[in-house]
Structure 1
Amino acid sequence: MDKIKIIRRFLEEKKIPALFVSGQENVTYLTGICGLSTGDREAFLLLTLKNAYLLAFSTTIGMYIRSGFDLIEITTEYRLSQALNDLTGNFGRLAFEKNNLTYSEFESLKNNLKVPLIPTENIIENLRAVKTLSEIVAIEKAAQTTDRAYKYALKIIKKSITEKELALDLEIFIRKNSQDIAFSPIVAFNENSAIPHYLPSEKIKLADNSLVLIDMGAKYDNYCADLTRVVFFGTPADKQIEMFNKVTKANELAVSSLAVGKTGEEIDTLTRNFIQNNGFTAYKHGLGHGVGLAIHEAPRLKPQIKDVLAANMVFTIEPGIYIKGFAGVRIEDVIHLTAVGPRILSKASKELTVL
């Protein structure tokens, strides 16, 4: 069913005449058009039971001319609240995305609109969680480029290269060979790899007998991939080998346990228990997250989150073991869950690799 028709059906059921869409990935999802930056407000959608209006600023409206939506230009003279009042003044109320407005934005709308605001949550995000065939193809192509970037990394890792140099080399490779990076690559040597979301340093140089963690992703047609691998430059410590082997087995266990109807929490618990039963402290992040227009989206595979896994969801599996001051190992793949089981989109080798 058409995405907008599904949203209109929701509005009809809730007796809400219109929905104001402010999340930029949600705007992209419904229009097929990505702005310059998902971090900036470049366009909004107003969906009514009969019409769909795209409200864009003067600097970006040109990107949406062929969108097929009714275009409204927002300027310093004709502000967003004025446009919304003109379009919704006769409505009894207006729904908005409560997770996609800052408090100051909400206050501004509340104080300037003629209609009361009704908060909604995850209407479009829940639609985005289940991918169409074209979305899955885009993510798979992004994953293929990311796999190639990993092979490239194995060729350029050398003594004395800094974390930042390696991260930049990988970013350039991905940008040259895909639409864009899904996020800034993470490169962490030795004890820095125990920090899951680490910022590569220009001061840390690669020495002999080091562990190298790489976390990166490409984009294709606005859709993201995500891959983490660990390699060894020189002889790894016995403890590092043990960590690597346990994380690899945890990854395999998690993937083999995936099935439609299970919750992400179930798979996460199973994987955590495996790591803990093998004498290590389990990762403190979630086991995985959906990937799509955003690098982190629904579903979430983590404690206390009851997201039920459905066919054609695409998400990561990324167990890890981290020992502060020593090393961290994380193995991450992108998975397409089909009606009959998981399909691994990430093809980069997970063998223990010594350079």
Structure 2
Amino acid sequence: MTKTVDDIVPPSPLSDDDMLFLYTGGTTGMPKGVMWRQEDLLQVLGRGGNAITGVPPADSMDEVISRVQPGGTGMKSLVACPLMHGTGQFSAFINLSMGGCVITMPNRNFDPALLWQTVQDRGVNSIVIVGQAFAGPMLESLDANPGRWNLSSVVQMGSSGVMWSQENKNALLEHIPQMLITDSFGSSEAVGMGMSVAAKGAAPKTAQFALGPNCVVFTEDGNRVAPGSGESGLVAVGGAIPVGYYKDEVKTAQTFRTFEGRRWTVPGDWAEVNTDGTLHLLGRGSVCINTGGEKVFPEEVEEMVKTHASVRDAVAVGIPDTRFGETICVVVEAEPGETPTLEELSAHVKSRLAAYKAPRNVVVISTIGRAPNGKVDYKRLKQHAIDTLGTK
């Protein structure tokens, strides 16, 4: 059914300086209110354009309107993740600014079979998710029901904010070979840090991204990390960035920093720059594990552990240790009927990563308990591991 509605007249004149407050997930602490100027947010979200589909930014609202085909709906985007999350909200804004249509799930709980049915029934073109927490069950549903749904309308699937494995992407592309998978590296306060694009037969490695045009990796003393140097640094994005965090001057100063005489968003992600200029993401420094003087980023260990056949989901945490300061413990949600052992998982990690990154303890849990946005509560799971192991 189609109907026309009157234009909404705001109670006061609108301005480029009007603010949108987007609250972070609070994965590693209390949620923070990110203050985006409307003009800056429009800028980083593409101004009605889309680089993946080759649509350039629009110079005016009239230009956006002129791109909409009479009687058409534009791109149909199914935003499967919560709209309160930056990935869902910003993806919806991008599609709406292109004259597209946003579709949401009809229920509150994530149901992959219902998602695929919605894709078929609505002729969805683009699917927005948040990493492995969504993509894993979606793949299981397709594997269990081959050919059940007509997915020929899908041309793109996108995610941002969390890790998404190469293996999962490859398997999804077997089911939907015509689509592109876009994996964006960003956060509520840092949009456009990097992106990887996967097509059937050409999925990039996990945590490998092409640097965004305004993205740089800095050492802690403010020097740029050279490609191929093997040096790690903090990822920073410049250009149109938020004003800061609402009523939190301390955290604003920590995240929005000045290097080379200009202001950057530095959300705390560590990375190396490969020889070809691409980014190898290591992880968030606030949850980094320091074991025997070596820094270990949980995400790297987690992605390796999750490739073991007995593991459904996993989180790596640091456990206090009198000799090493901390040791690595993986909290594991096992596949049904499986009981992964420390010996198995340690050997599995050592087969691909340095030996010091292997877990020294394993705690099996009924569910990792990811939030609707795919994030995990590291503090809660670390305390659970400490309590289970009897560590002080």
TM range (shorter): under 0.3
Greater share of residues in strand: 2
TM-score, normalisation: structure 1: 0.27
Q: Which has the higher contact order (CA 8 A, sep 6+)?
A: 1
